[in-house]
Chains A and B, each alone.
Chain A
Amino acid sequence: MGLLPLFVAIPLFSALLLGFIEHKKGIMHTLVMLTTSALVILAFATPLQRGFYFVGGHHPFVGITLMLDPLNRLLLIVVQILVFVASWYSIGYMEQYTAKSRYFSFVFLMLAGMNGIVITADFFNLYVYMEIATIASYALVAYGGKAHELEASFKYLVLGSISSLFILLGIALIYSQTAALNMMVVAQRLDVTNPITWLIITVFAAGFGLKSALFPFHSWLPDAHSSAPAPVSAILSGVLIKVVGIYVLLRFFYNIIGVDQAPLTLIAWLGALSSLVGVLLAMGQHDFKRLLACHSVSQVGYIFIGIGLGTPLGLIGALLHIVNHSAFKSLLFLSAGSVEYATGERNFHSMGGLAKVMPWTNAASFIGFTSIGGVPPLNGFWSKLILIIACVSSGQWILGLIIVVVAIMTLTLFPKIQKYVFLGDLPSKFRNVKESPWSMILPMLVLCFFCIVLGALVVVPVLRETYFLPAVQALLSGKWLGVFQNAP
Chain B
Amino acid sequence: MIYALCIVLFLLGLYGVLVKKNLIKIIISLAMMNNAINLFFILLAYRKNGVVPILSFLQPNANLYETAVDPLPQALVLTSVVIGLGVTALMVALAIRLYYVYGTFDITKMRKLRG
- A residues in contact (CB < 8 Å) with B: 62, 124, 127-128, 131, 135, 138-139, 142, 145, 147-148, 150-155, 157-158, 161-162, 164-165, 168-169, 172, 175-176, 179, 181, 219, 222-223, 227, 281
Contacts and interface: CB of A to CB of B under 8 A. Distances in A.
A168 B30 contact: no
B37 A169 contact: yes
Contacts of A222: 115
A169 B33 CA distance: 10
B83 A165 contact: no
B86 interface: yes
B101 A157 contact: no
A176 B110 CA distance: 41
B76 interface: yes
Interface string B66-87: 0000101100100110010011
A172 B41 contact: yes
A124 B76 contact: yes
A126 B17 CA distance: 25
A172 B86 contact: no
B94 A150 contact: yes
B113 to A, nearest CB: 5
A164 B30 CA distance: 11
Contacts of B76: 124, 175
A7 B74 CA distance: 28
A157 B91 contact: yes
A147 B91 contact: no
Interface residues of B, number: 33
Contacts of B14: 162
B77 to A, nearest CB: 10
A443 to B, nearest CB: 28
A162 B30 contact: yes
A281 B72 CA distance: 46
A172 B58 CA distance: 34
Nearest to A160: B87
Contact of B26 (A151, A158, A181, A219): A158
A158 B30 contact: yes
Contact of A151 (B10, B33, B90, B98): B98
B112 interface: yes
- Top 10 nearest A-B pairs (CB, nearest first) are A148-B112, A147-B101, A131-B83, A165-B33, A147-B112, A154-B94, A168-B37, A172-B40, A176-B44, A150-B97
Contacts of B26: 158
10 contacts: A135-B86, A142-B97, A154-B95, A157-B90, A162-B14, A162-B17, A168-B37, A175-B76, A223-B115, A227-B113
Given A151-B98, A176-B44, A168 B113 contact: no
Contacts of A155: 113
B94 A172 contact: no
Contacts of B80: 127, 168
Contacts of A164: 87
Contacts of A151: 98, 110, 112-113
Contacts of A172: 37, 40-41, 44
Nearest to B107: A154
B113 A152 contact: yes
Contacts of B94: 142, 150, 153-154, 157
Contact of B90 (A127, A135, A169, A227): A135
A151 B104 CA distance: 13
A108 to B, nearest CB: 17
A145 B90 contact: no
B90 A138 contact: yes
A172 B6 CA distance: 12
A134 B10 CA distance: 21
Interface in B22-37: 23, 26, 30, 33-34, 37
B40 A150 contact: no
Contact of A128 (B34, B79, B101): B79
B40 to A, nearest CB: 5
Nearest to B95: A154
B101 A150 contact: yes
A27 B101 CA distance: 36
B37 A165 contact: yes
A168 B38 CA distance: 9
Given A124-B79, A175-B73, A131 B87 contact: yes
A127 B41 CA distance: 14
B44 A154 contact: no
A223 B115 CA distance: 9
Nearest to A222: B115
A155 B95 CA distance: 11
Q: Which of B23, B70, B97, B102 has the most CB of A within 10 A?
A: B97
